[in-house]
Structure 1
């Protein structure tokens, strides 16, 4: 598991080939990774801060709520509608989840894919600077079929 953050960091550094595309790196509480995650988001269109883009990240439950530590990798496609600094964001994600360290008991190997949607608001400055987003994120749980009400709040830095 110690390789995961290193692989994620190297992946982010390799994205320098997309130098002119709008990027947004942010920490999200709640949201697609359920507890907390570090994410990278980029628009496919060089000229606009809106339009089609993707996100990828790495997250963890950190053993919160007295459950096993769970590691997550959210990957998704999204679309930002709006001009300038503010936009409406809508997207779909796949979240790959595995268990980490058990809380005082023998743990079974747990692997799951959770599907989620993002519907919300994103603010990113027209130049470089701090931005944020707030999303309603329904999670489509493949383990037991539940769909809990879930929200996410992210804060980070946006640049070209």
Structure 2
């Protein structure tokens, strides 16, 4: 008789203990430890110059703060092509899902001009870039948007430039 009551009591304690522990664990992760923000996105213009696919992450378990990006872009038309690889550091200021982004980086370029069958040109280079803009990044997973001013500089030139991106944050 005592054995079924003891087994029932142990099962009840285990079940309710797990529920309480899970609730406390969720509370701790919500208040003390935040999930590191990561985003994949397609960018038009910006440091990738044309259209590029990118990955962005924070360097700590935070939604804001210091992070980095890397991407790759390619476009070809009329025998000409350009490949770009933008890399950079950025810092997000804000709370919730709205942030101001400031960043700096470099974009590697490789271009090929094969328009003329007798004369063709190929080359590569590096442009510096800055980023000042707005970022919509959900607290949990979901749609993200970036937009802002992304000037390019190098080889004695300063090019005012803008960029927009749409992607998924997780």
Q: Same fold (TM over 0.5)?
A: yes
| Bigger radius of gyration | 2
CA contact (8 A) 1:34 1:61 kept: no
From 22, 28, 39, the counterpart of 2:37: 22
Where does 1:73-152 land on structure 2 (aligned, <5 Å)?
73-100=85-112, 102-105=114-117, 106-142=119-155, 145-152=156-163
**Bigger fraction of residues in strand:** 2
Q: Which runs of 5+ in 2 are unaligned?
A: 1-34
Deviating above 6 A after TM superposition, structure 1's stretches of 4 or more consecutive aligned residues are none
Scaled by the length of structure 2, what TM-score is found?
0.74
Distance 1:62 1:36 in 2: 11
Distance 1:109 1:62 in 2: 14
**Bigger fraction of residues in helix:** 2
From 22, 38, 42, the counterpart of 2:53: 38
The root-mean-square deviation of aligned C-alpha atoms, in Å, is: 1.6
Greater relative contact order, per chain length (Cα 8 Å cut-off, separation 6+) = 1
- The number of residues matched between the two structures is 135
Scaled by the length of structure 1, what TM-score is found?
0.79
